[in-house]
Amino acid sequence: MHAERFPLVQARGDHRQVGRQIGEALRPQIQRYMANLPDSLPAGVTWEELLDQSRLYLAPTRVAYPRYTAELEGIAEGAGVAFERVFLSHCEELWESAAWPRGCTDLVARGRATVDGSTLVAHTNDLRARVEDDLVILQVQAGDDPEFLGVSVAGLGYSAGFNAAGISMTGNELANNDIRPGVPRLLVVRAILAARRLGEALDACLLPQRASSYNNVVADAHGEVYSMEGSATDCEPIYIEDDLLAHANHYVSPAMRRFEADRNDIGSSVYRHNRARRLLQENRGRLSPELFQALLADHAGYPASICKHGLDSVTVFSLIVNLNERRAWIGRGRPCRTAYHEYKLEPWTPPQDWQS
């Protein structure tokens, strides 16, 4: 059993200070990650061309998200690396399939579907196996935003997490066919983690200047759950039905299927999506964090199962969140052989001048 915890880095201050603390704490990992970036270039693209393209993404990002741009500048300063490389590492759209194999499965339950009526979110995160060594947990309090906890690759972007306002962010990569220069989807994820209420998280998913989109699964402690199935130019909010929701790596909404880059390359995702729905339905009313740990270890369809052992990607971590309790359980490596470790945030108290 894999019982090792991911390293935990805590950062607090304004956004630039938070970035600098992350950069300082993870300097060796970030420098190594930056040094390896040129090894994963897409076919036919030079490093200089990639940097030139990233500048087309930076301009709208500075306008839409100056706070998060400052955070990335702080990371570069703290780690002693060039800001242009840190920003380029957040532009997944420019790397696409060359560096980011698709994976991940989400399962959500609320109300009558869970043992105590709480809202539970479960997520497997599938990446290349070597990425596991670069994963860290960041616990961040930036400015007046709610404190959040998220799993990150070397401190550069977030894969999943939740915040002290009782909002979670998980999701799945989609193959958008309308990618364009704009705000990278990784920074949309950062904005979701800063949301004070679910409406703000939904607004982040709908950012008009976005370059592309994940399928962002966002939920809150009131049991409101949405699968924001997006692309660069459109988004379909899918609301939870019958207290259960599942999603993998393809477009489910008929309105969004035209944005699928390759309709012939979604078999594994279709299988995991429907398998997850079946597991949820069969366990309605009994779903708990402990039961979710067992469901995430499901091997039906092995090796391209929910607990993924594939050749192109594997499950590098799994996460279960109880939003009502602001509590999460995170396991390293494949869910079938991990030990889950518990993390908790204190509920967020809004500032006195905060308007709901």
Same domain? For 147 and 287 the reply is yes
- Measured CA to CA, the distance from residue 158 to residue 151 in angstroms comes to 6
193 and 47 within one domain: no
Q: Which residue reads 């470790």 in tokens?
A: 341
CA dist 37 → 33, 92, 112, 134 (Å): 6, 12, 46, 13
Residue 48: the pLDDT is 94
In a domain, 4, yes or no: no
Is residue 174 in a domain? yes
In a domain, 267, yes or no: yes
Q: Are residues 170 and 275 in the same domain?
A: yes
Q: Report residue 165: phi and psi, to 5°.
A: -85, 0
Question: Going along 164-260, which residue ranges are E strands?
Answer: 167-172, 215-220, 225-230, 235-239, 244-247
272 near 304, Cβ under 8 Å? yes
Residue 351 located in a structural domain: no
Tell me, yes or no, whether 115 lies in a domain: yes
| pLDDT, one tens digit for every residue, the chain (356 residues) | 677 899 999 999 999 999 999 999 999 999 999 999 888 888 889 999 999 999 999 999 999 999 999 999 999 999 999 999 999 999 999 987 654 566 899 999 999 999 999 999 999 999 999 999 999 999 999 999 999 999 999 999 999 999 999 999 998 999 999 999 999 999 999 999 999 999 999 999 999 999 999 999 999 999 999 999 999 999 999 999 999 999 999 999 999 999 999 999 999 999 999 999 999 999 999 999 999 999 999 999 999 999 999 878 999 999 999 999 999 999 999 999 999 999 999 999 887 776 65
Spatial separation of the C-alpha atoms in residues 110 and 312, rounded to whole Å: 33
What is the rounded CA–CA span in Å between residue 212 and residue 179?
Answer: 5
67 lies in the same domain as 47: yes
Read off the tokens for 55. 């500048």
Residue 239, phi then psi, degrees to nearest 5:
-85, 145
> Domain residues for 86?
10-96
Q: What does the angle CA 89 – CA 91 – CA 95 come to, to the nearest 5 degrees?
A: 85
Residues 120 and 71 grouped into a single domain: no
Residue 306: inside a domain: yes
Is 239 part of a structural domain of the chain? yes
Q: Could you tell me if 160 and 305 lie in one domain?
A: yes
Based on C-alpha coordinates, what's the Rg of the chain? 19
Residues 276, 306 contacting (CB under 8 angstroms) = yes
On whether both 133 and 232 belong to a single domain, the answer is yes
> If you count DSSP H runs as helices and E runs as strands, how many of each does the chain have, helices first?
10, 14
Same domain, 111 and 235: yes
The verdict on 269 and 324 lying in the same domain is: yes
Last residue of a domain, one of 42, 63, 96: 96
The sign one gets for the Cα dihedral 306, 309, 315, 320 is positive
Statement to judge: residues 82 and 150 lie in one domain = no
Overall pTM surpassing 0.75 (yes/no) = yes
In a domain, 1, yes or no: no
Q: CB within 8 A of 192, min separation 6: which ones?
A: 167, 169, 201, 204, 205, 216, 218
Residue 334 sits in a domain of what CATH number?
A: 3.60.60.10
pLDDT score at 44: 86
Write out the DSSP string of 105-139: EEEEEEETTBSSEEEEEEEEEEE-GGGGGGEEEEE
Residue where one domain finishes, among candidates 96, 126, 153: 96
Mark whether 227 and 150 lie in a shared domain.
yes
pLDDT at 98: 53
**Last-in-domain residue among 57, 81, 96:** 96
CA dihedral 329, 332, 334, 337 (to 10 degrees): -80
Same domain for 148 and 73, yes or no, is no
Over residues 47-82, the pLDDT tens digits come to: 999 999 999 999 999 999 999 999 999 999 999 999
**What domain count does the chain have?**
2
